[in-house]
Structures are given as structure tokens and as C-alpha cells.
Amino acid sequence: MAKALIVLTSHSQMGETEEKTGFWLSELTHPYYAIVDRGIQTDIVSIQGGEAPVDPRSWDEEDKLNVRFMSTPELTLLLKNSPSLDDIDPTDYQAIVFAGGHGTMWDFPDDPDVQDKAATIYEQGGIVAAICHGPAALLNIKLSDETLLIEGKQVTAFSNAEEEAVQLNKVVPFSLQDELIINGAKYIEQPAWSANVVTDGRLITGQNPQSAAGVGDAICDLLQELTS
């Protein structure tokens, strides 16, 4: 039976500002239910463990999947006291998903567990996926031959145009779109806020919150192919 792992940021401060950030709620709930509702066990962890910070701007009570998740006591409890990525055995999983939210820009790129666990899952034939700002996790993942996972691969992520639209391009520590390109990825952009899911082999990325469910669906379809 295939198992998937969703990784959340533990970073809650928006740069040098007073504003709070964290993970984007729908970028957890949409892929979670896309995968779970297809019968695949899905675990949730955060970088540091403990309380995973939800970006307050992402509380959308009209989003049925957010409501479904947040009205499930064991899941809300999990967000209050999440396991740490460090405690996870990557050989238990066939897919790892990096949920987005601006917090990821600070703690995903240089985290050794992000790099080691994702590389292990990928090199054992599994899927690495990331949504919106989640592809910050992909920047420094090296495979055993010392090449970067994203080198020469088609990927997408939150675009410069979208970052400028939300007026955070001067707040984030770097441009995600630019850094992916610098590190050898082929960046695929669609118009702001349109769903865009890019699959290149066993690497799946989504551009923005509108792509979150599609990433979950793409993971399930690929898992089905890989395990059939």
C-alpha cells in the first residue's frame, strides 16, 4: 500500500515585518484530500515538529476542504503537535509533498532533512512534489551522483508576477522563480492565479493555490502507474 508524506513549514515570521506567515491552508487540505480520498495513507509533518503555523491570510471558511479538515479533531490536533520531518523514515513513503506558504521560503531551502529525505524517496523510485512556494524545498536537493534533482527538469512555482501582485516581492528573501532557473530548472509559467501543474518524470510541481488539488491528483495518477 502506497504512503504519502506532506511537509509543512515551521517558519511563522514574514521576514523583517511584524506580519505572521506559515503554510497556506488550502495547499495542505486540497492535496491531502485528493490523495486520501483515493485510498492512499497520508501523513503530515513539519520541519521542527510541534505546532505548524497556518498563514492567517489563508483562513478561507468558504473552502469546503478547509472546513472539512479543520472540523476533524484529530487533524487539528495534529497541526498543534505535528511530528518532525527529522523523525520520519523516508523508506516508508512513495511520495513526499512540500506544501506552500511564504514561511517555506525561510526554512525549506537549506534544511538537511528536506534534502536527505526527498532524495531518498526519489532515488527509491518515489515521487517528489511541491506546491506554490513549496518548491523552495527543491532548490538544493542533491542526488547521490551530486547533481541537483531539478537540473534540466521542467518545474513551476509561485511566479514573480504573482509575488508582485501580493506585494511581497521585496519581503521574501529571494525570487523563487529566478532561483529555480539559476539552479538549472526549466521554469514553466502560466498567467497569475491559473491552475498549472507540471509533471516531469517523478517530479510534480504546482504554481499556486489554484494548482494544489491538481498536484494531489497528479500524484495519485502517477502512483497508480508506478505500482500497477
Give catalytic residues, as residue numbers: 132-133, 163
Q: Which residue, among 223, 184, 216, 179, has the nearest Cα to 197 in the 3D structure?
A: 216
| 27 touches 129 (CB < 8 A) | no
CA distance 148 to 139: 8
CB atoms within 10 A of CB 168: 18
Estimate the crossing angle of helix 26-36 against helix 212-227, to 10 degrees: 30
CA angle 162, 173, 180 (to 5 degrees): 65
Q: Which residue, among 3, 2, 21, 1, has the nearest Cα to 11 in the 3D structure?
A: 21
Q: Which residue, among 156, 154, 151, has the nearest Cα to 134 in the 3D structure?
A: 156
CA distance 175 to 185: 14
The β-bridge partners of 41 are 3
| 153 touches 186 (CB < 8 A) | yes
The β-bridge partners of 107 are none
What are the cell numbers at 202? Answer: 517523478
